[in-house]
Structure 1
Amino acid sequence: MIDDFLNSHYIKVLPDLIPGMGWTLGLTLAGLFLGFILGAIVGLGRLSRFKIISGFCSFYVEVVRGTPMLAQILFIYAGLTRDVIGFNIDPITTSIIAIAINAAAYIAEIVRGAVYSIEKGQHEAGRALGLSEKQTMRYIVWPQAFKRMIPPLGNQFVISLKDTSLLSVIAVNELLYAGKQYYNVTYTPFQTLIMVCLLYLCMTIPASLYLRRLERKLDV
Protein backbone atom coordinates (compact mmCIF):
# COMPACT_ATOMS: atom_id res chain seq x y z
CA MET A 1 0.00 0.00 0.00
CA ILE A 2 2.82 2.36 0.88
CA ASP A 3 4.62 1.46 -2.33
CA ASP A 4 1.47 2.22 -4.31
CA PHE A 5 1.23 5.63 -2.69
CA LEU A 6 4.91 6.41 -3.30
CA ASN A 7 4.47 5.50 -6.94
CA SER A 8 1.24 7.47 -7.31
CA HIS A 9 0.86 10.87 -8.92
CA TYR A 10 0.48 12.41 -5.46
CA ILE A 11 4.24 11.91 -5.11
CA LYS A 12 5.32 12.01 -8.75
CA VAL A 13 3.93 15.52 -9.17
CA LEU A 14 6.07 17.01 -6.38
CA PRO A 15 9.25 17.55 -8.45
CA ASP A 16 7.15 19.70 -10.78
CA LEU A 17 5.33 21.56 -8.01
CA ILE A 18 8.24 22.42 -5.72
CA PRO A 19 9.87 24.83 -8.24
CA GLY A 20 6.44 26.41 -8.75
CA MET A 21 6.16 26.81 -4.99
CA GLY A 22 9.49 28.63 -5.01
CA TRP A 23 8.31 30.98 -7.76
CA THR A 24 5.11 31.64 -5.81
CA LEU A 25 7.03 32.67 -2.70
CA GLY A 26 9.62 34.66 -4.62
CA LEU A 27 7.10 36.64 -6.66
CA THR A 28 5.02 37.32 -3.56
CA LEU A 29 7.97 38.66 -1.57
CA ALA A 30 9.29 40.77 -4.45
CA GLY A 31 5.86 42.21 -5.20
CA LEU A 32 5.10 42.96 -1.57
CA PHE A 33 8.47 44.63 -1.03
CA LEU A 34 7.71 47.10 -3.81
CA GLY A 35 4.06 47.21 -2.79
CA PHE A 36 4.94 48.29 0.74
CA ILE A 37 7.09 51.15 -0.51
CA LEU A 38 4.38 52.34 -2.90
CA GLY A 39 1.63 51.69 -0.37
CA ALA A 40 3.42 53.70 2.33
CA ILE A 41 3.79 56.64 -0.05
CA VAL A 42 0.15 56.45 -1.14
CA GLY A 43 -1.11 55.94 2.40
CA LEU A 44 0.76 58.98 3.69
CA GLY A 45 -0.34 60.85 0.58
CA ARG A 46 -3.96 60.26 1.53
CA LEU A 47 -3.24 62.07 4.81
CA SER A 48 -1.70 65.05 3.01
CA ARG A 49 -3.17 68.50 3.53
CA PHE A 50 -2.80 69.14 -0.20
CA LYS A 51 -6.05 68.14 -1.87
CA ILE A 52 -4.40 67.32 -5.20
CA ILE A 53 -2.07 64.78 -3.56
CA SER A 54 -4.71 63.26 -1.29
CA GLY A 55 -7.21 63.19 -4.16
CA PHE A 56 -4.82 61.44 -6.53
CA CYS A 57 -3.86 58.87 -3.89
CA SER A 58 -7.50 58.23 -3.05
CA PHE A 59 -8.27 57.81 -6.75
CA TYR A 60 -5.47 55.25 -7.10
CA VAL A 61 -6.72 53.25 -4.12
CA GLU A 62 -10.33 53.21 -5.33
CA VAL A 63 -9.41 52.24 -8.90
CA VAL A 64 -7.12 49.37 -7.89
CA ARG A 65 -9.42 48.05 -5.16
CA GLY A 66 -12.43 48.39 -7.43
CA THR A 67 -11.05 46.30 -10.31
CA PRO A 68 -10.20 42.58 -10.40
CA MET A 69 -6.54 41.66 -10.05
CA LEU A 70 -6.92 39.36 -13.06
CA ALA A 71 -7.91 42.35 -15.19
CA GLN A 72 -4.91 44.28 -13.85
CA ILE A 73 -2.55 41.43 -14.75
CA LEU A 74 -3.91 41.18 -18.29
CA PHE A 75 -3.86 44.97 -18.71
CA ILE A 76 -0.16 45.14 -17.83
CA TYR A 77 0.79 42.09 -19.88
CA ALA A 78 -1.51 42.31 -22.91
CA GLY A 79 -2.62 45.93 -22.81
CA LEU A 80 0.74 47.66 -22.36
CA THR A 81 2.23 46.29 -25.58
CA ARG A 82 5.06 47.53 -27.77
CA ASP A 83 2.57 49.63 -29.73
CA VAL A 84 1.51 51.44 -26.57
CA ILE A 85 4.69 51.87 -24.50
CA GLY A 86 7.43 50.93 -26.97
CA PHE A 87 8.33 47.54 -25.48
CA ASN A 88 6.69 44.36 -24.24
CA ILE A 89 6.64 43.46 -20.54
CA ASP A 90 7.72 39.90 -19.82
CA PRO A 91 5.57 37.64 -17.59
CA ILE A 92 7.87 37.76 -14.54
CA THR A 93 8.08 41.56 -14.57
CA THR A 94 4.33 41.73 -15.13
CA SER A 95 3.80 39.48 -12.11
CA ILE A 96 5.89 41.60 -9.77
CA ILE A 97 4.34 44.84 -10.99
CA ALA A 98 0.80 43.48 -10.71
CA ILE A 99 1.32 42.17 -7.18
CA ALA A 100 2.99 45.44 -6.14
CA ILE A 101 0.30 47.69 -7.61
CA ASN A 102 -2.55 45.60 -6.25
CA ALA A 103 -1.09 45.12 -2.77
CA ALA A 104 -0.08 48.79 -2.54
CA ALA A 105 -3.71 49.90 -2.64
CA TYR A 106 -4.54 47.75 0.38
CA ILE A 107 -1.28 48.53 2.16
CA ALA A 108 -2.02 52.24 1.68
CA GLU A 109 -5.20 51.81 3.71
CA ILE A 110 -3.28 49.87 6.35
CA VAL A 111 -0.71 52.67 6.59
CA ARG A 112 -3.33 55.41 6.63
CA GLY A 113 -5.36 53.67 9.31
CA ALA A 114 -2.33 52.96 11.48
CA VAL A 115 -1.02 56.52 11.33
CA TYR A 116 -4.49 57.94 11.86
CA SER A 117 -4.94 55.73 14.95
CA ILE A 118 -2.02 57.35 16.77
CA GLU A 119 -3.36 59.79 19.33
CA LYS A 120 -3.24 63.44 18.38
CA GLY A 121 -1.34 64.12 21.60
CA GLN A 122 1.66 62.23 20.18
CA HIS A 123 1.89 64.75 17.34
CA GLU A 124 1.53 67.64 19.75
CA ALA A 125 4.20 66.19 22.04
CA GLY A 126 6.65 66.02 19.16
CA ARG A 127 6.02 69.59 18.19
CA ALA A 128 6.36 70.65 21.84
CA LEU A 129 9.83 69.05 21.86
CA GLY A 130 10.82 71.26 18.96
CA LEU A 131 10.59 68.61 16.27
CA SER A 132 9.38 69.49 12.82
CA GLU A 133 6.31 67.80 11.34
CA LYS A 134 8.52 65.40 9.36
CA GLN A 135 10.69 64.62 12.39
CA THR A 136 7.59 64.00 14.52
CA MET A 137 6.31 61.56 11.92
CA ARG A 138 9.68 59.82 11.58
CA TYR A 139 10.69 59.48 15.24
CA ILE A 140 7.40 59.41 17.16
CA VAL A 141 4.38 58.55 15.01
CA TRP A 142 5.80 56.14 12.44
CA PRO A 143 7.44 53.67 14.91
CA GLN A 144 4.17 53.34 16.84
CA ALA A 145 2.10 53.10 13.65
CA PHE A 146 4.39 50.47 12.12
CA LYS A 147 3.87 48.23 15.15
CA ARG A 148 0.13 48.35 14.48
CA MET A 149 0.66 47.65 10.78
CA ILE A 150 2.46 44.34 11.25
CA PRO A 151 -0.55 42.02 11.72
CA PRO A 152 -2.56 43.39 8.75
CA LEU A 153 0.59 43.43 6.61
CA GLY A 154 0.99 39.75 7.41
CA ASN A 155 -2.58 39.13 6.34
CA GLN A 156 -1.83 40.94 3.09
CA PHE A 157 1.10 38.59 2.54
CA VAL A 158 -1.25 35.61 2.75
CA ILE A 159 -3.75 37.25 0.38
CA SER A 160 -1.08 38.19 -2.17
CA LEU A 161 0.44 34.72 -1.98
CA LYS A 162 -2.90 33.15 -2.89
CA ASP A 163 -3.47 35.74 -5.61
CA THR A 164 -0.34 34.54 -7.42
CA SER A 165 -2.51 31.69 -8.72
CA LEU A 166 -4.01 34.25 -11.11
CA LEU A 167 -0.61 34.59 -12.79
CA SER A 168 -1.18 31.22 -14.44
CA VAL A 169 -3.14 33.05 -17.16
CA ILE A 170 0.11 34.57 -18.45
CA ALA A 171 2.04 31.29 -18.16
CA VAL A 172 4.15 32.17 -15.13
CA ASN A 173 5.49 28.95 -13.65
CA GLU A 174 3.98 29.48 -10.21
CA LEU A 175 2.42 26.67 -8.22
CA LEU A 176 -0.98 26.42 -9.91
CA TYR A 177 0.46 26.73 -13.42
CA ALA A 178 3.01 24.00 -12.67
CA GLY A 179 0.15 21.78 -11.53
CA LYS A 180 -1.88 22.49 -14.66
CA GLN A 181 1.08 21.67 -16.86
CA TYR A 182 1.49 18.35 -15.08
CA TYR A 183 -2.11 17.18 -15.21
CA ASN A 184 -2.51 18.27 -18.82
CA VAL A 185 0.11 15.63 -19.67
CA THR A 186 -0.80 12.94 -17.14
CA TYR A 187 -4.59 13.49 -17.06
CA THR A 188 -4.58 13.41 -13.25
CA PRO A 189 -6.24 16.68 -12.19
CA PHE A 190 -7.68 15.22 -8.96
CA GLN A 191 -4.36 14.07 -7.49
CA THR A 192 -2.47 17.07 -8.84
CA LEU A 193 -4.83 19.73 -7.53
CA ILE A 194 -5.00 18.08 -4.11
CA MET A 195 -1.22 18.42 -3.89
CA VAL A 196 -1.37 21.99 -5.17
CA CYS A 197 -3.85 22.90 -2.43
CA LEU A 198 -1.77 21.13 0.21
CA LEU A 199 1.34 23.06 -0.80
CA TYR A 200 -0.58 26.33 -0.63
CA LEU A 201 -1.69 25.34 2.87
CA CYS A 202 1.93 24.53 3.76
CA MET A 203 2.71 28.18 3.05
CA THR A 204 -0.40 29.92 4.38
CA ILE A 205 -1.09 28.02 7.61
CA PRO A 206 2.37 28.61 9.19
CA ALA A 207 2.11 32.28 8.18
CA SER A 208 -1.35 32.58 9.75
CA LEU A 209 -0.25 30.86 12.97
CA TYR A 210 2.79 33.11 13.22
CA LEU A 211 0.61 36.17 12.72
CA ARG A 212 -1.72 35.15 15.54
CA ARG A 213 1.26 34.66 17.82
CA LEU A 214 2.68 38.01 16.76
CA GLU A 215 -0.61 39.78 17.40
CA ARG A 216 -0.71 38.40 20.95
CA LYS A 217 2.92 39.36 21.51
CA LEU A 218 2.45 42.90 20.23
CA ASP A 219 -0.98 43.16 21.87
CA VAL A 220 -2.42 45.16 18.96
Structure 2
Amino acid sequence: MLLPANRFPGYLVPDRCFMKKMGIYEVYNKKAVQDKVSPSEYELIYNGTGEMYARCLSGIVIAAIIVLPSTFIIAYLYILFTEGKIDLQTYLDILLIPNSTFELMIMIPALFLMKIVSYNFISKYVLRIYRHNTKRQYVGVYINPILPWKNITCTFEKAIKLPDSINVIIPWHKEYYRLAGHKSIILRERFKRPVDYDRMLGLVKTLDE
Protein backbone atom coordinates (compact mmCIF):
# COMPACT_ATOMS: atom_id res chain seq x y z
CA MET A 1 0.00 0.00 0.00
CA LEU A 2 1.36 3.41 -0.94
CA LEU A 3 1.80 5.97 1.78
CA PRO A 4 0.81 9.62 1.36
CA ALA A 5 3.68 11.83 0.26
CA ASN A 6 4.04 13.39 3.67
CA ARG A 7 4.40 9.98 5.29
CA PHE A 8 7.59 8.92 3.50
CA PRO A 9 10.80 9.10 5.60
CA GLY A 10 12.42 12.49 5.19
CA TYR A 11 9.21 14.07 3.92
CA LEU A 12 7.39 14.59 7.18
CA VAL A 13 5.90 18.07 7.18
CA PRO A 14 4.27 19.54 10.30
CA ASP A 15 0.96 21.34 9.94
CA ARG A 16 2.53 24.78 10.25
CA CYS A 17 5.67 24.08 8.23
CA PHE A 18 6.99 27.17 6.44
CA MET A 19 7.42 25.15 3.22
CA LYS A 20 3.66 25.29 2.67
CA LYS A 21 3.75 29.07 2.57
CA MET A 22 6.96 29.38 0.57
CA GLY A 23 5.84 27.11 -2.27
CA ILE A 24 8.66 24.77 -3.26
CA TYR A 25 11.48 26.97 -2.03
CA GLU A 26 10.77 29.74 -4.53
CA VAL A 27 12.53 32.34 -2.37
CA TYR A 28 15.43 30.18 -1.20
CA ASN A 29 18.17 31.73 -3.34
CA LYS A 30 17.02 35.25 -2.53
CA LYS A 31 17.10 34.58 1.21
CA ALA A 32 20.50 32.90 1.01
CA VAL A 33 22.03 35.82 -0.89
CA GLN A 34 20.49 38.25 1.59
CA ASP A 35 22.04 36.30 4.46
CA LYS A 36 25.41 36.00 2.64
CA VAL A 37 25.15 32.20 2.55
CA SER A 38 26.08 30.12 -0.49
CA PRO A 39 22.94 28.35 -1.85
CA SER A 40 25.14 25.67 -3.40
CA GLU A 41 26.73 24.78 -0.06
CA TYR A 42 23.91 25.30 2.44
CA GLU A 43 20.28 24.23 2.64
CA LEU A 44 17.64 26.35 4.35
CA ILE A 45 16.07 24.12 7.01
CA TYR A 46 14.39 26.70 9.24
CA ASN A 47 12.51 29.88 8.46
CA GLY A 48 11.13 31.93 11.35
CA THR A 49 8.01 34.05 11.25
CA GLY A 50 7.25 37.70 11.95
CA GLU A 51 10.51 39.09 10.58
CA MET A 52 8.96 42.35 9.38
CA TYR A 53 7.16 42.94 12.69
CA ALA A 54 10.34 42.32 14.70
CA ARG A 55 12.35 44.72 12.54
CA CYS A 56 9.65 47.40 12.77
CA LEU A 57 9.40 47.04 16.55
CA SER A 58 13.14 47.41 17.00
CA GLY A 59 13.29 50.32 14.56
CA ILE A 60 10.44 52.22 16.22
CA VAL A 61 11.94 51.87 19.70
CA ILE A 62 15.43 52.84 18.53
CA ALA A 63 14.05 55.83 16.61
CA ALA A 64 12.14 56.98 19.69
CA ILE A 65 15.25 56.70 21.86
CA ILE A 66 17.23 58.75 19.33
CA VAL A 67 14.52 61.30 18.53
CA LEU A 68 13.48 62.04 22.12
CA PRO A 69 16.91 63.09 23.47
CA SER A 70 17.58 64.99 20.22
CA THR A 71 14.31 66.88 20.67
CA PHE A 72 15.25 67.81 24.23
CA ILE A 73 18.63 69.13 23.12
CA ILE A 74 17.27 71.11 20.15
CA ALA A 75 14.50 72.64 22.26
CA TYR A 76 16.98 73.51 25.01
CA LEU A 77 19.30 75.27 22.56
CA TYR A 78 16.39 77.06 20.88
CA ILE A 79 15.12 78.52 24.15
CA LEU A 80 18.62 79.33 25.32
CA PHE A 81 19.46 81.36 22.20
CA THR A 82 16.05 83.03 21.77
CA GLU A 83 15.09 83.74 25.38
CA GLY A 84 18.48 83.91 27.02
CA LYS A 85 17.21 81.75 29.88
CA ILE A 86 15.52 78.42 30.46
CA ASP A 87 11.98 78.30 31.80
CA LEU A 88 10.89 74.71 32.51
CA GLN A 89 7.22 75.25 31.66
CA THR A 90 7.99 76.93 28.33
CA TYR A 91 10.57 74.26 27.59
CA LEU A 92 8.03 71.46 28.07
CA ASP A 93 5.32 73.31 26.16
CA ILE A 94 7.57 73.61 23.12
CA LEU A 95 8.30 69.89 23.27
CA LEU A 96 4.53 69.14 23.31
CA ILE A 97 5.04 66.42 25.91
CA PRO A 98 3.52 65.88 29.36
CA ASN A 99 4.73 68.77 31.48
CA SER A 100 4.63 67.32 34.95
CA THR A 101 7.74 65.87 36.56
CA PHE A 102 5.83 62.73 37.53
CA GLU A 103 4.71 62.08 33.95
CA LEU A 104 8.22 62.58 32.65
CA MET A 105 9.60 60.21 35.27
CA ILE A 106 7.21 57.55 33.96
CA MET A 107 7.58 58.21 30.23
CA ILE A 108 11.36 58.18 29.92
CA PRO A 109 12.05 54.99 31.94
CA ALA A 110 9.13 53.29 30.15
CA LEU A 111 10.74 54.07 26.81
CA PHE A 112 14.06 52.57 27.82
CA LEU A 113 12.28 49.58 29.35
CA MET A 114 10.59 48.96 25.99
CA LYS A 115 14.00 49.00 24.33
CA ILE A 116 15.41 46.53 26.85
CA VAL A 117 12.46 44.18 26.36
CA SER A 118 12.59 44.40 22.57
CA TYR A 119 16.38 43.94 22.60
CA ASN A 120 16.03 40.90 24.86
CA PHE A 121 13.66 39.25 22.37
CA ILE A 122 15.11 40.37 19.05
CA SER A 123 18.70 39.52 19.98
CA LYS A 124 17.60 35.92 20.67
CA TYR A 125 15.08 35.36 17.88
CA VAL A 126 16.43 33.21 15.04
CA LEU A 127 15.21 34.20 11.57
CA ARG A 128 16.70 31.37 9.56
CA ILE A 129 18.96 28.34 9.94
CA TYR A 130 21.02 26.80 7.14
CA ARG A 131 22.65 23.36 7.17
CA HIS A 132 25.84 22.59 5.24
CA ASN A 133 25.40 19.94 2.56
CA THR A 134 28.56 17.94 3.27
CA LYS A 135 29.64 18.60 6.85
CA ARG A 136 28.14 19.12 10.26
CA GLN A 137 27.85 22.89 10.24
CA TYR A 138 24.94 25.26 10.61
CA VAL A 139 24.49 28.99 10.13
CA GLY A 140 22.00 30.87 12.29
CA VAL A 141 20.68 34.27 11.19
CA TYR A 142 19.48 36.92 13.66
CA ILE A 143 18.23 40.49 13.39
CA ASN A 144 20.81 43.04 14.47
CA PRO A 145 19.12 44.57 17.56
CA ILE A 146 21.04 47.83 17.17
CA LEU A 147 20.72 48.18 13.38
CA PRO A 148 17.46 46.31 12.69
CA TRP A 149 17.77 46.56 8.90
CA LYS A 150 20.87 44.35 9.08
CA ASN A 151 21.42 40.72 10.11
CA ILE A 152 23.91 38.93 12.33
CA THR A 153 25.03 35.37 11.63
CA CYS A 154 26.72 32.70 13.71
CA THR A 155 28.03 29.25 12.82
CA PHE A 156 27.61 26.22 15.04
CA GLU A 157 27.83 22.44 14.89
CA LYS A 158 25.05 21.51 17.27
CA ALA A 159 22.16 23.17 19.09
CA ILE A 160 21.47 22.52 22.77
CA LYS A 161 17.92 22.52 24.11
CA LEU A 162 17.71 24.70 27.22
CA PRO A 163 15.29 24.21 30.14
CA ASP A 164 11.91 25.87 29.82
CA SER A 165 11.64 29.38 31.19
CA ILE A 166 9.87 29.87 34.52
CA ASN A 167 7.97 32.76 32.93
CA VAL A 168 5.13 30.65 31.55
CA ILE A 169 3.22 33.74 30.38
CA ILE A 170 5.81 34.19 27.61
CA PRO A 171 4.57 32.35 24.49
CA TRP A 172 8.05 31.04 23.64
CA HIS A 173 8.99 29.94 27.18
CA LYS A 174 9.60 26.37 25.90
CA GLU A 175 11.56 27.39 22.80
CA TYR A 176 15.00 28.29 24.19
CA TYR A 177 18.17 26.81 22.68
CA ARG A 178 21.87 27.53 22.76
CA LEU A 179 23.59 28.15 19.43
CA ALA A 180 27.34 28.81 19.48
CA GLY A 181 27.06 29.82 23.13
CA HIS A 182 24.21 32.24 22.42
CA LYS A 183 20.78 31.78 24.01
CA SER A 184 18.27 31.71 21.16
CA ILE A 185 14.56 31.37 20.45
CA ILE A 186 13.66 28.74 17.83
CA LEU A 187 10.10 27.72 16.96
CA ARG A 188 10.10 23.98 16.35
CA GLU A 189 7.16 24.01 13.93
CA ARG A 190 9.06 26.30 11.55
CA PHE A 191 11.54 23.61 10.48
CA LYS A 192 11.36 22.27 6.95
CA ARG A 193 11.21 18.67 8.23
CA PRO A 194 11.13 17.19 11.74
CA VAL A 195 14.33 15.28 10.95
CA ASP A 196 16.15 18.59 10.42
CA TYR A 197 15.30 19.57 13.98
CA ASP A 198 16.51 16.20 15.31
CA ARG A 199 19.77 16.41 13.36
CA MET A 200 20.48 19.90 14.65
CA LEU A 201 20.17 18.63 18.23
CA GLY A 202 22.39 15.64 17.45
CA LEU A 203 19.55 13.14 17.88
CA VAL A 204 20.08 11.76 14.36
CA LYS A 205 23.47 10.93 12.92
CA THR A 206 24.47 12.59 9.65
CA LEU A 207 26.22 10.85 6.75
CA ASP A 208 29.64 12.22 7.71
CA GLU A 209 29.48 10.74 11.22
Class of the TM-score when normalised by the shorter of the 2 chains: under 0.3
Q: Which has the larger radius of gyration?
A: 2
RCO greater where, 1 or 2, for CA within 8 Å and sep 6 or more? 1
Which is strand-richer, 1 or 2? 2
Higher helix share: 1
TM-score, scaled to structure 2: 0.25
